[in-house]
């Protein structure tokens, strides 16, 4: 591998599209390009069949019925569709956590402002986990919905979805799960988890951007009003011409994701690579792992604090390694992640935080080179700062 080759370790932000997925999609761009909703000739019938097959594949990866799966542009649309589509009113109450994805938090804020819905934002513990006991103590007589993410996108903590789902079902409270970071990395079962609504996004599990899906339990689908009206596509839940190639792609990506989680071989390899990356760093520099230990967190995900290091500055010294930072500078002011703040990190620790996520396509050679590059850069920056302060003291 060339030293200037890019090593992509930001797979929580997006994954590369699997070449097998691309190959599956290609004929639907220029051969089988009919409109699935036309329903009047051979090309439209082939397109309709392709959509049905893809719907089956997506349903299978979460153990749902095909008719319970509706295609969207991604998890953001799906989360908006559920929270806003339930028609919650001023006398209704919902519960969510303070580390949910922005699309859930801002949808909840929208409901508070526009519909006077009451919202409880449950704080997480220092590992980023939502406590079932905190949920139980937050329940009101008018609680209609609980929305909790499966896996946190920044610190990779996994919530006890089955326990929360069981409690919601016992209390007859609707349960929504943002599973964008879970598909393809662990087994997801909407029946076992007693989940009423679930959202996912293709580009998080080696499909394309611009396509996702929402699961709506069949016997409660009448509770959800569509956000988009028009041609009545997706059984009137999401009008608009179906993006046929993208739908075929998410179907294939879901099929591969199911094979991955069922075999464990690939997930074990990813886990081993992330362990190797962490070991290479901790053996040379001071590093703290945010959240749960490896083995109890999302496979391949690492949120690391390097005290005294600005990961934004570090990026300039390791331009070949792609990772996410825990803070950002905007308009001259420094802001840092609300997730890192919620688990108790100081602004200085957030500045020193990097998010790493290993993918199916990363190699051992890449992990070795990336970790060695980061170690060398951190040592260089630490030494430079030491001499700078030494000169000041003089």
Cα 151 to its chain centre, rounded Å, is 7
CA triplet 114, 115, 121: central angle to 5 degrees? 95
Cβ 354 vs Cβ 311: under 8 Å:
yes
SS3 of the chain: CCCCCCEECECCCCCCCCHHHHHHHCHHHHCCCCCCCCCCCHHHHHHHHHHHHHHHHHHHHCCCCHHHEEEECCHHHHHHHHHHHCCCCCCCEEEEECCCCHHHHHHHHHHHHHHCCEEEEECCCCCCCCCHHHHHHHCCCCEEEEECCCECCCCCEECCHHHHHHHHHHHCCEEEEECCCCECCECCCCCCCCCCEEEEEHHHCCCCCCCEEEEECHHHHHHCCCCCCCCCCCCCCCCCCCCHHHHHHHHHHHHHHHHHHHHCHHHHHHHHHHHHHHHHHHCCCCCEECCCCCCCECCCEEEEECCCCCHHHHHHHCCCEECEECEEEECCEEEECHHHHHCCCCHHHHHCEEEEECCCCCCHHHHHHHHHHHHHHHHHHHHHHHHHHHHHHC
Select which of 103, 168, 322, 329 is catalytic: 329
Residue 329 annotated to the active site: yes
Catalytic residues: 329
């Amino acid at each position: 591998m060339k030293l200037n080759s890019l090593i992509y370790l930001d797979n929580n932000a997006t994954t590369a599209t699997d070449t097998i997925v691309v190959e599956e999609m290609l004929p639907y761009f220029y051969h089988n390009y009919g409109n699935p909703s036309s329903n009047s000739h051979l090309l439209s019938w082939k397109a309709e069949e392709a959509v049905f097959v893809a719907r089956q594949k997506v349903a299978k990866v979460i153990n749902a019925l095909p008719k319970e799966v509706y295609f969207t542009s991604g998890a953001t649309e799906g989360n908006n569709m559920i929270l806003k589509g339930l028609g919650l009113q001023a006398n209704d109450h919902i519960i969510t956590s303070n580390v949910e994805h922005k699309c859930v938090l801002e949808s909840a804020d929208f409901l508070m402002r526009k519909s006077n819905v009451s919202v409880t934002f449950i704080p997480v513990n220092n590992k980023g986990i939502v406590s079932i006991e905190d949920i139980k103590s937050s329940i009101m007589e008018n609680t209609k919905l609980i929305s909790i993410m499966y896996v946190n996108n920044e610190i990779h903590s996994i919530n006890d979805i089955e326990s929360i789902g069981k409690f919601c079902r016992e209390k007859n409270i609707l349960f929504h799960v943002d599973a964008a970071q879970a598909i393809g990395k662990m087994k997801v079962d909407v029946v076992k988890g007693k989940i009423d609504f679930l959202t996912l996004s293709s580009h998080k599990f080696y499909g394309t951007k611009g396509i996702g899906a929402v699961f709506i339990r069949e016997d409660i689908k009448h509770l959800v009003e569509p956000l988009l009206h028009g041609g009545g596509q997706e059984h009137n839940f999401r009008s608009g011409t179906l993006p046929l190639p993208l739908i075929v792609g998410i179907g294939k990506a879901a099929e591969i994701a199911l094979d991955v989680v069922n075999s464990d071989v690939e997930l074990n390899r990813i886990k081993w690579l992330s362990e190797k990356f962490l070991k290479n760093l901790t053996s040379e520099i001071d590093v703290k792992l945010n959240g749960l230990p490896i083995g109890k967190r999302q496979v391949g995900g690492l949120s690391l604090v390097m005290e005294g290091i600005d990961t934004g500055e570090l990026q300039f010294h390791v331009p070949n390694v792609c990772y996410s930072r825990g803070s950002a500078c905007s308009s001259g002011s420094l802001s840092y992640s609300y997730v890192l703040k919620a688990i108790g990190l100081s602004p200085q620790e957030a500045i020193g935080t990097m998010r790493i996520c290993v993918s199916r396509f990363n190699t051992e050679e890449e992990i070795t080179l990336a970790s060695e590059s980061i170690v060398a850069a951190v040592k260089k920056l630490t030494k430079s700062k030491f001499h700078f302060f030494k000169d000041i003291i003089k």
